[in-house]
Structure formats: C-alpha cells, structure tokens
Amino acid sequence: MRTMAPKLGIVAGGGALPAKLAEKCRETGRPYFVLAIEGEAEPATVAGAPHAWVRLGAAGTGIKLLKQQGVVELVMAGSLKRPSLASLRPDWRAAKLYAKVGLRALGDDGLLSAVIKELEAEGFTLVGVDTVLTDAVATAGAYGRHMPDALAEVDIAHGFRVVEALGALDIGQAAIVQQGVVLGVEAIEGTDALIRRAGELKREGPGGVLVKAKKPEQERRADLPTIGPQTVELAHQTGLRGIAVEAGGSLVLDREQVAALADKYGLFVVGRGKPS
C-alpha cells in the first residue's frame, strides 16, 4: 500500500523554482502549501495553489501559518534580495533570530543554516529541493549536442576554481570567464544580473563561459545553484558560448527545453564534477 507523503510547505522566493515544486506536488498528489514572500515570489507561483503571502521580516506570522496548515516538511526555494535590517522590519521572532545569529547573519550560509535550525526547533523537517525535484539534479555530460572545445575547457576549469574561492568566502555561486579572464563573479545581484553585466565587458573572439557550483560548506537544503531556459536565453543574448554546472550539486530546470535552446543557439550546456 502506497504511503502518502507528508504535507509540504514551500517557502517561495523569486524565480521559477517554487512553481516547479508546486507543480510536482500536484502531479504526484502530494498535499502542499505555499508561503509566498512579499516582493519576491511572483504571482504566477501561487496561481491555483493553496497559499498565503507574508513579508520577509514576519517570521512569527509565517511559522503560525505553516502550523495552521498542518505542514510537516518544509522546503525553501527561489531567490531573495538581501534586505537591510532597517527595511526588513523584523517582528519579535525574526529579531530574536538575528540576535542569536549575530555576525553570522552577515553571510548567506550562516544565516540560512541558522534559519533552518530555528525552523527545525519549531518541529518542521527541512528538506532540499533536490529531494522533491529529483529529476532536476544536474547530471554529468552534455545537455544538447554541443560540447566545449579546448579553450572553453580551460575557461570552465578556471571558472570552477574561482567559484570555489568565492564560495569559501560565502560570496556567490557563479563566475563568467572568457579566454582566461574573469569577466564577473556573482554576489548579491544574482546570476541573471551577472550575465547581463558580463555581457557589457566581453572581449573580441570566442565568448565566455558561465560556471555555477555550490559553495564548499553550503547548506544543501537551501539555495542550490540553479539554471533553466531563461539562463540559456540570457547567455545567448549576451554572447556567451556555454554554461557549465556542478553535476550532483546544482539544479537544471526544464532540462529538455534547456537542451533544445542550447542546440538552437549553438551553445553548450554541460554538467561537470568539480576539478580535484
């Protein structure tokens, strides 16, 4: 007899990922509830879904809503613009968390780990996106028919080294390298903005490569590096020649569409293990 999966709470930020999780729940008949972050989640994310909106600083309200909805497992998905403490307007629950975290809140990893611990203390079981969207975990090899040439392989290897250094400092998960030159690294602005910015800095000759990988000490249950069709579209628009993501440590949404777009634009999209 098949056992019904426990009710899933989706804490939704920006981008397509939260909607993909809700779609997966509907496909599998799993009960779910979306807690959408005001100013971050897109309206389309909650269309037709059981949901509530909450501002980022209202942690107490969010926890109360999740408990009222009978949520057992919780997944955090989507991008968040890092607010200043003043604009956050934390309620007593969020203020208590910031006081407990202290200087760790200055980095994303420290803050996310602390948030997860607090949510677990409230009785929720935190799960990673990759445990729900198992078919979205990046695999080794090419998405589509194009492969990087020798020059691109050098840029990919250098990109992974750069991202490893960025991650060790809890800065970002992506870099763009062209002909051995680092055109840009990801910080608070996110991958799309990084691609656009690097497009303005590109050199003559073969285009650059976007490399994405998780941070060395990253909390796997939150904020895995992700690409999707929009990433490929932007890569094409800004003159990149390809994308490389960490196999097993990142997500590729709508992989068939990603492959089709890569073939259409003559780009490579590959999953790779981190260089040792």
Span 137-166, pLDDT tens digits: 999 999 999 999 999 999 999 999 999 999
Give the angle subtended at the CA of 96 by the CAs of 90 and 100, to the nearest 5°. 125
Q: What is the mean pLDDT of residues 90-115?
A: 61
> Tens of pLDDT along 50-77?
999 998 878 888 999 999 999 999 999 9
Structure confidence at residue 1 (pLDDT): 42
Helix (H) or strand (E) holding 62: helix 59-68
**Residue 11 pLDDT exceeds 90:** yes
Q: Which residue did the predictor score with more confidence, 263 or 61?
A: 263
At 252 the three-state DSSP class reads strand
Q: Which of 44, 48, 20, 55 minimizes the C-alpha distance to 129?
A: 20
At 57 the three-state DSSP class reads coil
Structure confidence at residue 148 (pLDDT): 97
Give the angle subtended at the CA of 19 by the CAs of 255 and 226, to the nearest 5°. 45
Averaged pLDDT score across all residues of the chain: 88
Report the alpha-carbon distance of residue 210 to residue 175 in Å, rounded: 6
Residue 204, Cβ neighbours under 10 Å: how many?
Answer: 6
| CATH class of the domain comprising 8-132 | alpha beta
Pairing of strands 141-142, 174-178: unpaired
Report the alpha-carbon distance of residue 16 to residue 20 in Å, rounded: 6
Q: Which two tokens stand for residue 145?
A: 């028919």
Helix (H) or strand (E) holding 197: helix 191-199
Report the alpha-carbon distance of residue 80 to residue 61 in Å, rounded: 18
At 89 the three-state DSSP class reads coil
**Residue 218 pLDDT exceeds 80:** no
Topology (CATH) of 137-272: Cytidine Deaminase; domain 2 (3.40.140)
pTM of this structure: 0.86
Q: Give domain limits for the chain.
A: 8-132, 137-272
Contact between residue 267 and residue 146 where contact means Cβ atoms under 8 Å apart? yes
**Residue 129 pLDDT exceeds 90:** yes
Identity of the residue numbered 271? G
At 53 the three-state DSSP class reads strand
Q: Which two tokens stand for residue 13?
A: 């930020």
Report the alpha-carbon distance of residue 259 to residue 75 in Å, rounded: 27
Lowest mean pLDDT among 4-13, 168-177, 218-227, 254-263: 218-227
